Chain A
Amino acid sequence: MNVIVLMKQTFDTEERIRLVDGQIAEDGVKWIINPYDEYAVEEAVRLKEQQGASVTVVSVGNEDVAQALRTALAMGADEAVLIDGTDLHDERAIAKALSAYLAKTPFDVLLAGNFSIDNGAGQVAIRVAHQLGLPHVAAITKLAIDGGKATCVREVDGDVQTVEVQLPALFTAQQGLNEPRYPSLPGIMKAKKKPLTNVTLGDLGLSADDVAPRVARIDLSLPPKRQAGQRLSGDVEAQAEQLADIILQATGQAGAR
């Protein structure tokens, strides 16, 4: 079985965002594998351990992204592919590049994160599946592979769905799918020797025209800073009384007395 994981490198969730000259400052930032993608990597490695599989992790970005790919290799992936993202400026373009790579790489299971914690659009993986003509199941919390079929569980708006799907297919990982492992020291040592291939758009047969952006960012801003408000005084009775009035005011039920 061949498993491919689409992954992205993101800021750590505890990072604050700073703007310098209108751009997001990246100096001194701690980088991680996007947490949802990390569940996808973990699931792939478990499939390898439980059923035997070769696991390839694929990312789009600059050379610094190799660090996240090495971490995935240390977790147990077998090889990594880094597609040069220099000329890829929107989700459609990134999905085109990934689809072009995947179109010539056989696989049974494609895994990715539910969304990235930075851009948060949740487009790329689903676009890739659609472009390749594959079914997908998003935001899964359980995955069982049996022959050419997968059974998975996902939560949608308070409902728990069980979905059956024929392989090959894409699955995007939701929190709760698994508990990702920390790379072990031997894993980290082994990862250094595992293959990491750099791929350019030219290698994929794509021209600048093919990936010309459809959308563009024109501005970045930070949310208005919230100020610390008022501490309510008095005993529990008095505090609850004040809070109740404040809440009813805000919900438009202020007539309540």
Chain B
Amino acid sequence: MGKTVLVIAEQKDQKLRQVSLEALAAARQLAGDGGNIVSVLVGDNVDAAAQQLADHEQSQVVCVAADILVSYEAEHYFAAVQPVIDEVKPDIVILPHTASGRDLAPKIACHLDAGQISDVVAIEAVGEDVTFKRPIYAGKAFETKRFLTGPWVVTIRPNNLQADATNGAAAPIVKRTYTEPTPMRSQVVDVQRKGSDTRDLTEAKVVVSGGRGVRSADGFAPLAELAEVLDGALGASRAACDAGYCDYSLQIGQTGKVVTPDVYIACGISGAIQHLAGMSQSKLIIAINKDGEAPIFDIADYGVVGDLFEIVPKLTEKLREKITAVRS
């Protein structure tokens, strides 16, 4: 018996976020034979992202577009998806575990009086028996959960599940008009883009992270350059944030963000337990630190004992040369 699965997809800067395709792949796995997949996209202009999404086989892609939906806000986004949920009556709803997905999911779960399993990193389906693995204590441990009763609401962590690669018949795109909630009690009145357009930490394939050893806000400049060459994101330890070298939004750890990039480059980070929890599931870890005794070396695949202010710029230079060489 196939299931009806609703995917709440997400776009950024009018491009489909990669995690939306990871959610779609999860939907395909859970829908089963004869299942039915519907995706929803919400925003001010979702045409391009909807087209990308519709290239992947499914029953339909529903677009809810309105100017006020340009920036995520819980009440408005819920008002956008609720009519779709009530109409589709999904057995399963899947969202990305992103800033907006994790905010919207509990409202949907509550609306459906459903259980929710959050921040899923692996799904195992053996016949009707489906289990979900998720980190707890920021990855110091993992729990496996199952639903006891439906409907199911699931949020998936970016970068952990395979993205959907199906190329089938183009799915129909259905546009729905947006009706504002009444009374309207909350509203985004201003949005500022912060600094340069840096890559989202949790989705980045490469993270360059700085700790106390970076010594100042200016000390992050060579790290930012390295991140840029690798098309990666900048991160930081709690010590660096607490010292005021950088913004808390960069913090990686049990408080802060948990990241699982392909490559994690820790610069001047000693490796407190609370930081390790946030990054030790990275695929490859490189540590650069003056102190050869620093605990970060115990978990790093490659370590360099030395001055990050010498090594990082040199590394950036080498990478720039090699990448240019291969492109030309």
User: For residue B299, which residues in chain A have a CB less than 8 angstroms away from its CB?
Assistant: 226, 228
User: For residue A241, which residues in chain B have a CB less than 8 angstroms away from its CB?
Assistant: 318
B184-216 at interface with A (beta carbon < 8 Å): 185-195, 197-198, 200, 205-206
Question: Is B280 among interface residues, defined by CB-CB distance under 8 A?
Answer: yes
User: For residue A256, which residues in chain B have a CB less than 8 angstroms away from its CB?
Assistant: 319, 322-323, 325-326
Q: Are A228 and B300 in contact (CB under 8 A)?
A: yes
Q: Are B74 and A161 in contact (CB under 8 A)?
A: no
A11 CB, min distance to chain B CBs, angstroms? 7
Q: Are B306 and A244 in contact (CB under 8 A)?
A: no
User: For residue A240, which residues in chain B have a CB less than 8 angstroms away from its CB?
Assistant: 311, 314-315, 317-318
Q: Are B256 and A175 in contact (CB under 8 A)?
A: yes
User: For residue B314, which residues in chain A have a CB less than 8 angstroms away from its CB?
Assistant: 236-237, 239-240
Question: Is A209 among interface residues, defined by CB-CB distance under 8 A?
Answer: no
Q: Are B263 and A136 in contact (CB under 8 A)?
A: no
Question: Is B228 among interface residues, defined by CB-CB distance under 8 A?
Answer: no
Partner of B107, one of A126, A237, A244: A126
C-alpha spacing A123/B154, complex, angstroms? 11
Question: Is B45 among interface residues, defined by CB-CB distance under 8 A?
Answer: no
Q: A161-B188, A220-B141 are in contact. Are A251 and B274 (CB under 8 A)?
A: no
User: For residue B256, which residues in chain A have a CB less than 8 angstroms away from its CB?
Assistant: 175
User: For residue A20, which residues in chain B have a CB less than 8 angstroms away from its CB?
Assistant: none
Q: Are A221 and B185 in contact (CB under 8 A)?
A: no
User: For residue A14, which residues in chain B have a CB less than 8 angstroms away from its CB?
Assistant: 272-274
User: For residue A246, which residues in chain B have a CB less than 8 angstroms away from its CB?
Assistant: 284, 286, 302
Q: Are B315 and A215 in contact (CB under 8 A)?
A: no
User: For residue A174, which residues in chain B have a CB less than 8 angstroms away from its CB?
Assistant: 248
Q: Are A253 and B284 in contact (CB under 8 A)?
A: no
Q: Are A155 and B185 in contact (CB under 8 A)?
A: no
Q: Are A257 and B325 in contact (CB under 8 A)?
A: yes
User: For residue A244, which residues in chain B have a CB less than 8 angstroms away from its CB?
Assistant: 315, 318-319, 322
